Amino acid sequence: MTNASIKAEATKYLINTYGTARSLALVKGEGVYVWDADGKRYLDFLGGIAVNALGHCHPAVVRAITEQARTLIHCSNLYYIEPQVRLARLLVENSFADQCFFCNSGAEANEAAIKLARKWAKDHGHPERYVIVSMEQSFHGRTLAAITATGQSKYHKGFEPLPEGFRHVPYNDLEAARRALEAGDVCAVLVEPIQSEGGVNTPDRDYLRGLRALCDEFGALLILDEVQTGLGRLGRLWGYEVFQVEPDAITLAKALGGGVPIGALLAKASVAESFGPGTHASTFGGNPLASAAAYATLRTILDENLPEHAAAMGEYLQEAMLALRKEFDCILGVRGVGLLRGLEVSPEVDGNALAARCIENGLLTICTNNTILRFLPPLIIQPEHVDAAVEVVRRSLREVLG
Ligand SMILES: *Cc1c(COP(=O)(O)O)cnc(C)c1O
């Protein structure tokens, strides 16, 4: 099939949640490259939205999936699952956490975190504390509780009434967070170390530490949504390390499974104990296949020191984009940390048209908030890939500016 014929069938048979602006069907990937159905190659600086941290079809992940598929694909959590236990141990030994719960996506991981926070407050004699404080411009996923936590009204529209017990405050504003906590009804603050979907918004160095202090003062949990920032993307294994803060819980998904769907909630034992038998579950969560893929992915990230590499490549990308800024007045700034980067163009430039032009020129990227070109490349990229990507952005900018 071709791009066009796949698109035609998709338009007919798929519910139209993703729109028809898309023109490509991707059929093959290797390392930092993907190929569309017409045989054209692209440099992938979107990485399946921060999922393909090891690039495409990394041999370690392919091997793990293949071996596990021959052995046991699924059995349910009615039984102990060896790959899941191995994965949990590796996560715990390399993080602040004592225990893990596995699910299938970022939204589900946040649902688990929200439920855990409410249960934890009740278990500690505070049934009146059930509010989740989250941030304006945040993104936490598309299930009902997750969109309610998400501080962007465009994701709420049409789905009211939304669940109760959520409050939004401006990001990077400790005074606003204090006022929200002073109400005395808050069980947790849920926050992304860097807001990616919301526009690559990076907080002040002491913001998360400030939230930590406020949570301690008012008896609330600090839960970090590391669905996108976790697993090396920010140049450290965890985003909380970048901001030198210790959370009570974090949520993961995206990069965790090397492309196989898996999400996780990691927590301190003192918090995790509020999830007793029967309180939460997932049929697929942490099944043998997904756990084996995730174990191989995390093992590779650790063994190959990819967070450090991501930090170096992130600096290189930042420098290259700052050089580009000198050439184009319409580039207003470069944002982000590690390999979560955004190039901000002035509102006169159609950011979506620019992203489309980059794709035509062989570079996968995405525009967020109409003016931020987002780059989430695989952590395995090399300087020559950055050079090639920046060259495509340069050419595409020239073309859209006419
Ligand atoms: C992508 C994302 C989610 C949602 O993950 P899904 O797997 O799509 O449910 C939640 N939080 C953040 C920060 C994300 O980037």
> Which sign does the torsion angle of CA 91, 95, 99, 101 carry?
negative
Q: How far is the CA of 311 from the centre of ligand 1 (A)?
A: 22
Per-residue pLDDT of 226-242, as tens digits, reads 999 999 999 999 999 99
Q: How far is the CA of 325 from the centre of ligand 1 (A)?
A: 30
Query: What confidence category does residue 345 fall into, taking pLDDT thresholds of 50, 70 and 90?
Result: very high
Q: Which fold has domain 3-58+305-401?
A: Aspartate Aminotransferase, domain 1 (3.90.1150)
> What local confidence, expressed as pLDDT, does residue 167 receive?
98
Residue 22 predicted with pLDDT over 90? no
Per-residue pLDDT of 251-271, as tens digits, reads 999 999 999 999 999 999 999
Residue 20 predicted with pLDDT over 90? no
Which numbered atom of ligand 1 lies nearest the CA of 225?
13
Say which residues have a Cβ less than 8 Å from residue 30's Cβ, sequence separation at least 6.
Answer: 55, 56, 57
> What local confidence, expressed as pLDDT, does residue 101 receive?
98
Q: Is 112 in the pocket of ligand 1 (CB under 6 A)?
A: no
Q: How far is the CA of 239 from the centre of ligand 1 (A)?
A: 15
Backbone phi, psi, residue 11, to 5°? -60, -35
The residues facing 188 across adjacent strands are 132, 221
Please state, in angstroms and rounded to a whole number, the distance separating the CA atoms of residues 288 and 283: 12
Q: Is 193 in the pocket of ligand 1 (CB under 6 A)?
A: no
Per-residue pLDDT of 141-165, as tens digits, reads 999 999 999 999 999 999 999 999 9
Which numbered atom of ligand 1 lies nearest the CA of 192?
13
Please state, in angstroms and rounded to a whole number, the distance separating the CA atoms of residues 286 and 88: 9
Strand segments, DSSP code E, in 329-371 are 331-337, 340-345, 363-364, 366-368
Q: Whose CA is nearest to atom 11 of ligand 1?
A: 140
Mean pLDDT over residues 354-367, rounded? 97
Q: What is the mean pLDDT of the chain?
A: 97
Per-residue pLDDT of 382-395, as tens digits, reads 999 999 999 999 99
> What local confidence, expressed as pLDDT, does residue 96 receive?
98
Task: Name the nearest CA neighbour of 119 among 275, 239, 259, 256.
Answer: 275
Query: What confidence category does residue 402 fall into, taking pLDDT thresholds of 50, 70 and 90?
Result: confident
Q: Is 228 in the pocket of ligand 1 (CB under 6 A)?
A: yes
Mean pLDDT over residues 209-227, rounded? 98
Per-residue pLDDT of 276-333, as tens digits, reads 999 999 999 999 999 999 999 999 999 999 999 999 999 999 999 999 999 999 999 9
Please state, in angstroms and rounded to a whole number, the distance separating the CA atoms of residues 199 and 312: 22
Q: Which fold has domain 72-303?
A: Aspartate Aminotransferase; domain 2 (3.40.640)
Q: Which residues are catalytically annotated? A: 139, 225, 254
263 token code pair: 């999400």
List the end-to-end C-alpha distance of the chain, in Å, as a whole number: 34
Domain boundaries, the chain: 3-58+305-401, 72-303
Which numbered atom of ligand 1 lies nearest the CA of 226?
13
Q: How far is the CA of 250 from the centre of ligand 1 (A)?
A: 13
Please state, in angstroms and rounded to a whole number, the distance separating the CA atoms of residues 312 and 310: 5
- Is residue 132 within 8 A of residue 114, CB to CB? The reply is yes
